[in-house]
Structure 1
Amino acid sequence: MIDIVKADLGLSAHAEAMIQLMDEYALDPMGGGQGLPEYVKANLPTELAKRKSAHVILAFVDSQPAGLVVCLEGFSTFACKPLLNIHDAIVALPYRGRGLSKLLLQKAEEIAFDLGCCKLTLEVLEGNHVAQSAYKAFGFSGYELNPKMGKALFWEKKLEEVPNRIKSLSVTERVTDA
């Protein structure tokens, strides 16, 4: 029996299922190949539960954790409407090929409609051809505004805690040479 549920991270069964599946994802080459740090395992359910913009969807097969989608609300300035970003998605290895990804994506889409979102977004690795096929079959495509300008790229800049970092100056502040 397959159950697709919006997780209640206050329930230990849901929190534990999420951590188990996220750790499996992290260990996979598509997730970086290293398990989650202990800090993340201990704190992720609580931190996500604090955020009303976070939506966690779990798939259970015969009561066993089998799949996960973590969605985060965003906002489309061009549409002036909310959007829902699928930030993490995994189907555990023993449960692949059973249509769980489609069921998880359908639940994410249902949540997006309920929130009044204009679109679903996600990022996928170039080398993750299986996931790309599933996403294309569900209706996703590369993001572009103008075909002449090409598809959008997803970039990142990791932030590290820097002691004594210089903070931005407000418009009224002036920098003077001493």
Structure 2
Amino acid sequence: MTLKEIKVDLVDYTCNQDTKDMMDLLACYALDIMGGGDPLSQYTKVNLASELAKLPHAFSFICYVDKKPAGLINCFDAFSTFKCKPIINIHDVIVLPEYRGLGLSQIMLKKVEEVAEHKGCCKLTLEVLEANQPAQAAYTKFGFSGYELNPKIGQALFWEKTL
């Protein structure tokens, strides 16, 4: 594939085209086994953009290849109590299958890192599934590693309680 242009834009949650592109990318990811394999709910499809627009600590970037949406990264500002500094949590990293292997995740992660540096963040965080080896390789390449306070007590685990 010959690439003419790669561009990463901040999503405007109030712009119809931005939100359409974001929802199309997220819907594709949701259907992927690494995204859970289930379609997005109608509620999410209808409300996600307006709910994100209400959150001053939410931001997203879309990566376009030749003006076509190819990747999405959704992020949230958080805070480290131990470091007493802000953190950015990367909640979703999506690259459509036909664009994988082109380094788009690295480009989007770099954009998030630039935002984090501007905000004075002490770190970026994300979660990744154990079986998602391609994503783990991309994150390791970017400098991510397992989180641990002390090697003697091991790495942190990501848990959830569904409500």
TM over 0.5: yes
**Aligned-partner residue type, residue 93 of structure 1:** P
Does 2:103 correspond to 1:99? Answer: yes
2:146 to 142, 146, 166: 142
The residue aligned with 1:131 is 135
Q: 2:107 is paired with a residue of what secondary structure?
A: helix
The residue aligned with 1:75 is 79
Q: 1:148 is paired with a residue of what secondary structure?
A: coil
TM-score by length of structure 2 reads 0.96
Note the alpha carbon deviations across 1:3-54, whole angstroms, 9 max, x for none. 1011111111110011001111100000110110111011101100111100
TM-score by length of structure 1 reads 0.88
**How many residue pairs align between the two structures?**
159
**Aligned-partner residue type, residue 12 of structure 2:** D
Paired with 2:156 and 2:118, the residues of 1 have a C-alpha distance of: 27
| Stretches of 4+ aligned residues off by more than 3 angstroms | none
Paired with 1:87 and 1:130, the residues of 2 have a C-alpha distance of: 17
**Aligned-partner residue type, residue 89 of structure 2:** N
Paired with 2:120 and 2:95, the residues of 1 have a C-alpha distance of: 27
Q: 2:152 is paired with a residue of what secondary structure?
A: helix
Paired with 1:11 and 1:62, the residues of 2 have a C-alpha distance of: 20
CA deviation after TM superposition for structure 1 residue 115, in Å: 1.3
The residue aligned with 1:173 is none
Unaligned runs of 5+ in 2: none
The residue aligned with 2:50 is 46
**Aligned-partner residue type, residue 51 of structure 1:** L
Pick the structure with greater CA Rg: 1
Note the alpha carbon deviations across 1:41-94, whole angstroms, 9 max, x for none. 111011001111001011011111100000011100000011000001110111
